[in-house]
């Protein structure tokens, strides 16, 4: 999974702005989408298109941000190692920052290189940047969103014809336009949300214009996991506030539950809205059950089990007074391997919890994602072969249950045909 962000300046005095800093802050707001790789590309004072990349979170690029200046810039944060902005040198130089995967190309970067090469080829043949990109989106299937910056100082962004990955447009007065994977990052840099791109839509920005077009055959199918885990709670997707969807998930979990408990706790931060919704519906107190140590770490993004456990311990140290002597409903946003949740249940028991009833705010994950969301191999997915009762015994809780697919669709508020639930349904790609 990745996050993309861009800031484009308009007008005759655009060189006075420094977009690199805005992009840096935008990427910080999107850091939850990826912490393994970061990169920024910009148009420098000489009019050249240059890039900088670093392993790890975006603050590894701070030295570049502090010394460089560019009136237009794009950036990428990724959950994959050495997954940087793609540069196409010929026939027209351009860079691509993308979320998802283009076509059937397994390697993410190479799939976006294919997109960049297609656009560069069409531009070299005399096609303008907007039409060239619409042609590319029309021809190249997959679930993806992207931002392209050319050496001609044109910026173009868009979503594939089935969408899947979100993308929004914002503005700062009449001087700047920004593009982001999430609306929250637009807010963070002080911009105003203008629109959410629809499936197949393409937007092109040049120094004196903004134009839009759309590839034929677009059919919206947004990733359901954006609402459950990937997006920030202060973002919105297709007009639906992520926070409200997560609260609704908690309410639905509570509606189907009658387990006896004293307190509701949500883990990690993404599950707190679930817990609040559950708490309100059941009339049970919702308490802060854990305290974070150090910088935020999304343990699901770590590559080894040891890293995941260390990351979990850093961010989730139990509060004894919230759990000691209590029967707890523990709400998690999702369950992938089960190892970290097993560690959480064990830590609650050590702090004096009497019973721990686990409720998961998403359906069981039983398959990978063809569109680039980071999901482990299927043989590592705990729900692939184990029932809820078996999972309960493995992780050491007193009871365990998931959210049903139909309930997730109800919480999101879209038709099933417009929501991708492949990871929850196996071979069904809807």
Tens digits of residue pLDDT in 307-338:
555 555 555 788 999 999 999 999 999 999 88
152 and 257 co-located in one domain: no
197 and 267 co-located in one domain: no
283 and 143 co-located in one domain: no
Q: Is residue 239 part of a domain?
A: no
DSSP summary character for residue 87: E
What span, in angstroms and rounded, lies between the C-alpha atoms of 22 and 170? 13
Strand partners, 330: 265, 358
Q: Is residue 237 part of a domain?
A: no
- For residue 104, the model assigns a pLDDT of 87
125 and 271 co-located in one domain: no
212 and 261 co-located in one domain: no
180 and 248 co-located in one domain: no
Question: Which range among 128-132, 199-203, 372-376 shows the weakest confidence by mean pLDDT?
Answer: 372-376
Selected residue with higher pLDDT from 77 and 105: 77
Residue 185's domain spans which residues? Answer: 2-220
Over residues 177-227, the pLDDT tens digits come to 999 999 999 999 999 999 999 999 999 999 889 999 999 988 999 999 999
Q: Is residue 138 part of a domain?
A: yes
- For residue 391, the model assigns a pLDDT of 95
Number of domains the chain is built from: 2
- For residue 375, the model assigns a pLDDT of 84
Q: Which two tokens stand for residue 50?
A: 């240059």
182 and 47 co-located in one domain: yes
Residue 262 belongs to domain with CATH number: 3.40.50.2020
* DSSP-derived secondary structure for 296-358: ---GGG-SSHHHHHHHHHHH-EE-HHHHTT-EEEEEES--SSSHHHHHHHHHHHHTT-SEEEE
Residue 84 belongs to domain with CATH number: 3.60.20.10
143 and 261 co-located in one domain: no
Q: Mean of the pLDDT values across residues 12-18? A: 82
Q: Is residue 232 part of a domain?
A: no
Q: Is residue 109 part of a domain?
A: yes
- How many CA atoms are closer than 13 Å to the CA of 207, on its beta-carbon side? 10
- For residue 294, the model assigns a pLDDT of 63
Strand partners, 420: 223
């Amino acid at each position: 999974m990745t996050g993309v962000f861009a800031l484009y300046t308009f007008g005759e005095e655009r060189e006075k702005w420094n977009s690199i800093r805005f992009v840096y802050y935008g990427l910080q707001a999107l850091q939850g989408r990826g912490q393994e790789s970061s990169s920024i590309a910009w148009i420098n004072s000489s009019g050249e298109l240059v890039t900088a990349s670093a392993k790890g979170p975006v603050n590894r690029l701070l030295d570049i941000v502090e010394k460089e200046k560019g009136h237009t810039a794009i950036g990428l944060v990724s959950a994959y190692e050495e997954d940087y902005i793609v540069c196409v040198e010929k026939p027209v130089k351009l860079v691509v920052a993308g979320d998802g995967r283009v076509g059937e190309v397994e390697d993410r970067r190479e799939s976006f290189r294919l997109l960049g090469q297609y656009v560069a080829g069409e531009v070299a043949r005399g096609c303008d940047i907007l039409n060239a990109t619409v042609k590319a989106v029309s021809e190249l299937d997959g679930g993806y969103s992207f931002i392209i910056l050319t050496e001609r100082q044109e910026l173009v962004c868009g979503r594939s014809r089935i969408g899947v990955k979100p993308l929004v447009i914002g503005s700062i007065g009449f001087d700047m336009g920004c593009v982001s994977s999430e609306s929250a990052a637009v807010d963070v840099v002080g911009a105003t949300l203008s629109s959410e791109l629809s499936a197949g839509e393409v937007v092109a920005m040049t120094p004196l214009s903004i134009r839009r077009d759309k590839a034929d055959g677009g059919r919206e199918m947004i990733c359901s996991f954006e609402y459950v885990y990937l997006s920030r709670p202060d973002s919105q997707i297709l007009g639906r506030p992520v926070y409200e969807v997560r609260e609704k998930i908690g309410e639905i979990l509570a509606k189907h539950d009658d387990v006896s408990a004293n307190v509701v706790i949500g883990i990690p931060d993404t599950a707190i809205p679930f817990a609040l919704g559950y708490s309100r519906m059941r009339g049970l107190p919702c308490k802060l059950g854990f305290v974070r140590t150090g910088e935020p770490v999304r343990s699901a993004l770590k590559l080894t089990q040891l890293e995941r456990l260390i990351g979990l311990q850093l961010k989730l140290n139990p509060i004894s007074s919230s759990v000691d002597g209590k029967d707890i409903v523990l709400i998690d946003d999702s369950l992938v391997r089960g190892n970290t949740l097993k560690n959480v249940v064990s830590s609650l028991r050590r702090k004096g919890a009497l019973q721990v009833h686990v409720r998961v705010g998403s359906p069981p994950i039983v398959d990978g994602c063809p569109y680039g969301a980071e999901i482990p191999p299927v043989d590592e997915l705990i729900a692939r072969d184990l029932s809820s009762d078996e999972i309960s015994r493995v992780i050491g809780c007193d009871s365990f249950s998931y959210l049903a697919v139909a309930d997730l669709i109800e919480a999101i508020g879209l038709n099933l045909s417009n929501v991708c639930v492949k990871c929850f349904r196996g071979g069904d790609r809807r």
